[in-house]
Amino acid sequence: MTAPSADSASLPSPADVGFEITARHGERARAGTLTTPHGEIATPAFIPVGTKATVKAVLPESMSDLGAQALLANAYHLYLQPGHDLVDEAGGLGRFMNWPGPTYTDSGGFQVMSLGAGFQKVLSSEFSGGAKARTANGEDDAVREGKERLAHVDDDGVTFRSFINGDVHRFTPEISMQIQHGLGADIMFAFDELTTLMNSRGYQEQALERTRLWAIRCLAEHARLTAERTHRPYQQLWGVIQGAQYEDLRRQAARDLGAMDVEGWSFDGFGIGGALEKENLGTIVGWVTEELPENKARHLLGISEVDDLFVAIAAGADTFDCVSPSRVARNSAVYTRTGRVNLTGAKYRRQFAPIDEDCDCYTCTHYTAAYVHHLFRAKEMLSSTLCTIHNERFVVRLVDRIRASLLSGDFDALREETTGAYYGSPR
Ligand SMILES: [Zn+2]
pLDDT digits (tens, 9 = 90+) for 118-130: 443 333 333 333 3
Residue 200: CB atoms within 10 A of its CB come to 13
Among all residues, which ones are annotated catalytic? 106, 321
Distance 390 CA to ligand 1 centre (A): 4
Is residue 276 a contact partner of residue 284, using CB atoms and an 8 Å limit? yes
17-26, 289-298, 382-391, 417-426, range with the lowest pLDDT: 417-426
**What is the predicted pLDDT for the residue at 1?**
44
- For 125-147, what is the mean pLDDT? 42
63: CA distance to ligand 1 center in Å?
A: 13
- Calculate mean pLDDT across residues 385-395: 97
Mean pLDDT confidence for 172-178 = 97
Distance 361 CA to ligand 1 centre (A): 4
> Residue 140's pLDDT is what?
56
Look up the pTM and report it. Answer: 0.90
pLDDT for 120: 37
The Å distance, Cα 134 to ligand 1 centre, comes to: 45
* 98, burial (CB in 10 Å: exposed 0-12, middle 13-18, buried 19+): exposed
pLDDT exceeds 90 at position 259: yes
The string of DSSP letters for 327-350 reads HHHTTTEEEETTEEEETTSGGGTT
> How many CB atoms are located within 10 Å of the residue 228 CB?
9
Q: How confident is the model at residue 117 (pLDDT cuts 50, 70, 90)?
A: very low
Over residues 17-41, the mean pLDDT reads 96
DSSP assignment letter at 185: -
Q: Report the pLDDT value the prediction gives residue 218, as an integer from 0 to 100.
A: 98
More confident residue, 308 or 102: 102
Measured between alpha carbons, how far is 214 from 210 in angstroms, rounded to an integer?
Answer: 6
Confidence at residue 366, expressed as pLDDT on a 0 to 100 scale: 98
3 state SS of 1 = coil
Reported as a pLDDT band with limits 50, 70 and 90, residue 7 is very low
Spatial separation of the C-alpha atoms in residues 88 and 260, rounded to whole Å: 29
Q: How far is the CA of 426 from the centre of ligand 1 (A)?
A: 14
DSSP string covering 199-261, please? S-HHHHHHHHHHHHHHHHHHHHHHHHHHHH-TTSPPPEEEEEE--TT-HHHHHHHHHHHHH--
Rounded distance from Cα 49 to ligand 1 centre (Å)? 18
How confident is the model at residue 35, as a pLDDT?
97
Q: How many CB atoms lie within 10 A of CB 279?
A: 9
What mean pLDDT value characterizes the chain? 88
Ligand 1 center–CA 106 separation, angstroms = 28
Residue 267 Cα to ligand 1 middle (Å): 38
Q: What's the whole-number mean pLDDT along residues 240-244?
A: 95
Residue 80 has pLDDT above 60, yes or no: yes
pLDDT at 128: 31
Give the C-alpha separation, 92 to 74, whole Å: 14
For residues 307 and 313, is the Cβ–Cβ distance under 8 A?
A: no
Q: What is the pLDDT of residue 367?
A: 98
Q: What percent of the chain has pLDDT over 70?
A: 87
